[in-house]
Amino acid sequence: MTNPASPFAYTPFSQRMAAGFELLYRLGKEYEKPHFEIVSTLVDGVTVPVSKTVALDKPFCHLQHFRKDPAAMQVPAQPKVLLLAPLSGHHATLLRDTVITLLPEHDVYITDWIDAKMVPLSKGEFHLHDYVYYLQEFMRFLGPDLHVIAVCQPSVPLLAAVALMSTAKDPLVPRTMTMMGGPIDTRKSPTMVDQLATERDLDWFENTVIYRVPPNYPGAGRRVYPGFLQHFSFVAMNAARHAKSYQEFYEHLARNGSDKVVEHHRRFYDEYNAVLDIPAEFYLETVKTVFQESSLATGTWEVEGKPVRPEDIKHVGLLTIEGEWDDITGRGQTRAAHNLCTGIPRSKKEHYTAPAVGHYGIFSGRRWHERVCPKIADFIRANAGQRKA
C-alpha cells in the first residue's frame, strides 16, 4: 500500500488503508525488549565509544556497565554512578535517556532486571529482601566511591539497603543516594496508584493478578504478576491520553506518511508497550510493605528480622527529586526521606521539585536534560570529596 514499486500504492485511499493496517498491527503485536543502542557519547567535545558489558550476573538481574573506551578519554576518572531501574513492569531501557544524559560526566552502571518468565524455577524465588540484598551486593562490588540514583520504586529498597549497611558500620556505603519520584511515604498526597494498592486486601491481589508462567517459557510454573496486566493498568490510568496519541498517529500517517509525529509515536510506544513479568512474591510484598503498611515511613520494616533504621545513616549525601505534576508518586512522598534520615547533616541534604514535570519527565526528556540532571551532577560533585571517618 505504500511501496512505490507496488501498483496498489497508487489506488484511492491506499495511504489511509496502510495507516489503518499499521495501527491495528501496533495495537495487537507483542513488543520485544528494546535495546539501549548507545554506542558513543561526547566527553568535553570528544566522541568516545561506549560498549555495554555485564559487570555482575545475578539470576534476576544483570548489572550492566556502559564502559567508555579509555584510549579515547582525555579527562580524569569520572564519578561512578549506579542507576537503579525500577522493577515495576518496564525494562531498564525505559531509562535510555537517563543514561545518555549521565554518560558524558559519569561512569554509569545500571540494574537490568530480567523478565521473570525467563528465569527457571530452579533459581528460586525473588523477594523484596532479595532486592535489598542485590543492591547491597552491587554497592559493595562497585566500592565506596559510588553515587546511587534510584528512579521511582527502587528508592525504598535503596534506603533500606543503605540503612542496614550503616547500622552494621559497613565502610562500603555509597557517597550519595539520589531518589527520584520514589514512594518513601505513600500516605502523603496519595495518587491513583496508591489508592489502587490500598483499597483491596492482599488476598485480592494474589487471587486476581497473580498467574503461573505457561510451559513455553524457561520460567514455566513460576508465579508472576504478568506484564500484559501491568500494561493494561498503565494504559487505563491515562486512557484518554493514549487514545488521543493513537488517533494523532493514524491521522499523521494517513495524511503525511512517516513524519516526526509518527516516528516519535513509534519510538515511544515501542518502549512503553514492552513489559516484563514480575516475581509474585516480590510484587505482593511490595504492595503490602510499601503501600498498605507504609512500613519504612512508620519505622516498622524489618528485613529478615533486621530492623531498617534510616536514622543510622550518617555519612551518605541525600538528594530527593519530585515532579510538580507527578501523578504516580505524589508530592512529598520522596521528600519524606529527609525526615527519616535524621543522622545525615543538613549540609549533605538537598531537595528539588522540578517545575512543570510529570513522573516520566523527572528522568527523561528536555526538562530532565536541562534541569534535573544538572542538579544531580552538581550534588555528586559537591559530595565527591574525602569522606569523614
How far is Cα 87 from Cα 330, in angstroms, rounded to an integer?
Answer: 19
* pLDDT per residue as tens digits for the range 208-245: 999 999 999 999 999 999 988 876 676 666 678 768 87
pLDDT digits (tens, 9 = 90+) for 174-200: 999 999 999 999 999 999 889 989 999
Residue 185 and residue 48 in one domain: yes
Mean pLDDT, residues 299-325 taken together:
97
Q: Is there a domain that residue 388 lies in? A: no
Query: What is the enclosing helix (H) or strand (E) of 272?
Result: helix 260-272
More confident residue, 256 or 337: 337
What is the pLDDT, as a whole number, of residue 266?
A: 75
Cell of 272: 512503553
One domain, residues 264 and 294? no
250 and 335: one domain?
Answer: no
Asked whether residue 232 is domain-assigned, the answer is no
Q: Supply the pLDDT for residue 389.
A: 41
Same domain, 261 and 308: no
CA distance linking residue 353 with residue 330, whole number of Å: 11
Q: Which of 35-39, 76-80, 374-378 bottoms out in mean pLDDT, i.e. has the lowest?
A: 76-80
pLDDT confidence of residue 246: 73
Helix (H) or strand (E) holding 256: helix 239-256
What's the chain's average pLDDT?
Answer: 91
Give the tens place of pLDDT for each residue, 139-165. Answer: 999 988 999 999 999 999 999 999 999
The pLDDT, as a whole number, for residue 121 is: 97
Look at residue 204 and tell me if it is in a domain: yes
Element (H, E) at 100: helix 96-102
Using alpha carbons, select from 114, 115, 194 the residue that is nearest to residue 153. 194
Total domains in the fold of the chain: 2
Q: What confidence tens digit (pLDDT) does each residue in 9-67 have?
A: 777 777 778 777 877 776 676 768 888 999 999 998 899 999 999 999 999 999 999 99
**In a shared domain, residues 249 and 291:** no
What's residue 203's pLDDT? 96
**213 lies in the same domain as 256:** no
State whether 151 and 295 are in the same domain: yes
Length of the chain: 389
Q: Would you state the cell numbers that stand for residue 352, as one nine-digit string?
A: 528539588
Structural domain for 217, as ranges: 40-226+277-382
Are residues 190 and 259 located together in one domain of the fold? no
Q: 221 with 303: CB under 8 angstroms?
A: no
The pLDDT of residue 378 = 97
Predicted pLDDT of residue 27: 65
Residue 194 shares a structural domain with residue 143: yes
CA dihedral 368→372→378→379, nearest 10 degrees, is -130
Residue 170 belongs to domain with CATH number = 3.40.50.1820
Same domain, 185 and 263: no
Average pLDDT, integer, range 60-89: 92
DSSP per residue, 287-327:
IIIIIIS-HHHHT--EETTEE--GGG--SSEEEEEEETT-S
HEC letters along 187-227: CCCCCHHHHHHHCCCHHHHHHHCCEECCCCCCCCCCEEECH
- pLDDT tens digits for range 324-365: 999 999 999 999 999 999 999 999 999 999 999 999 999 999
- Residue range 88-102: mean pLDDT, rounded: 93
**Per-residue confidence (pLDDT) for residue 235, from 0 to 100:** 65
Inform me whether the pLDDT recorded for 316 exceeds 90.
yes
In percent, the amount of the chain with pLDDT more than 70 equals: 95
Q: Are residues 207 and 312 in the same domain?
A: yes
Q: Are residues 256 and 378 in the same domain?
A: no
- For strands 40-43 and 302-303, give the pairing: unpaired
